Amino acid sequence: MRLKTAYILIFLSILNFPNSLNAKEKNCFYCKKYKYLKDWPTDKRPKAFIYEKINYPEDMFSKRTIKNSKHIKKRATEKVNIRFVKSKGSLKKYQHLMIKDAAYFEAMFNETLQEKRSTVESIENLKKARDAIRQSLKISPNASSSEAIYKFWATGKMMTIIYKKNKKNKKKKKMLEDKEVKKRIKILEDLKKQIQITKINAQKAAIMEAEKSINAN
């Protein structure tokens, strides 16, 4: 599965939070009524903006991290920053890592829903980014965070295995090609040597014949 370039651009533009926050007109809906999550009653929120208790994949977080929600949020944010901000130039090249790390984006969004001091505007921007990346893999924006996380994580792991296998096969193919090239070069070098020896022998034979003719006369 590939993330379409258009969705990647949308995703990265939404991640540009400073520009969104400094805009004269807020590009959000619920933020016009509620400034912080603490001001927004849970019973007034759509399901997507309500925190979900998730049993994350075992190999997604360390045993120490998984015990603390703040640690989960911190680790997820670090992974998102590395993959989608610092390494955004390599997103197309390493799509398997991008899809796998999309699970961390889901985790970051979900854990942020526990922080009462988070602004509703930033939460809405995060959701737009989340929905964009979900759409690229045909995951419904209405799907639970846990469902999306497991799909991203499983797909990313599968694509990582395929990537490593292809990389190994390419390396093996290159080695075989290099061996074949070296073999052909050796054949050409041996042929050149043989041609040179044949020329020398032909010249010697011609000289000997010439000497015989001279002596016979």
pLDDT digits (tens, 9 = 90+) for 34-76: 999 999 999 999 999 999 999 999 999 999 999 999 999 999 9
Site of tokens 């988070």: 118
Q: How confident is the model at residue 192 (pLDDT cuts 50, 70, 90)?
A: confident
203-211 CB contacts, 8 Å cutoff, 24+ apart? none
pLDDT of residue 101: 92
Question: How does pLDDT run across 66-100, given as a tens digit for each residue?
Answer: 999 999 999 999 999 998 888 878 788 888 888 99
What residue type is 180 in one-letter code? E
What tokens appear for 4 in the block?
A: 């379409």
| % of the chain beyond a pLDDT of 70 | 74
pLDDT of residue 93: 83
Is the pLDDT assigned to residue 6 strictly greater than 50?
no
Q: How far is CA 40 from CA 9, 43, 105, 125, 150, in A?
A: 30, 9, 23, 16, 29
pLDDT of residue 207: 66
Distance CA(98)–CA(136), nearest Å, equals 12
Q: What is the pTM of this model?
A: 0.68
12 or 183, which is more confident? 183
SS3 41: coil
Is the pLDDT assigned to residue 181 strictly greater than 90?
no
Distance CA(31)–CA(25), nearest Å, equals 11
Q: How far is CA 122 from CA 46, 118, 155, 204, in A?
A: 16, 7, 28, 91
pLDDT of residue 9: 45
Mean pLDDT to the nearest integer, 177-190: 72
With a CB cutoff of 8 Å and minimum separation 6, the contacts of 10 are 129, 132
The residues facing 119 across adjacent strands are: 36
Is the pLDDT assigned to residue 127 strictly greater than 80?
yes
**Orientation of helix 95-112 relative to helix 120-136, angle to 10°:** 150
Distance CA(59)–CA(154), nearest Å, equals 11
Closest CA to 80 of 152, 142, 21: 152
Rg (CA), the chain: 33
Distance CA(20)–CA(123), nearest Å, equals 12
Q: How confident is the model at residue 171 (pLDDT cuts 50, 70, 90)?
A: low
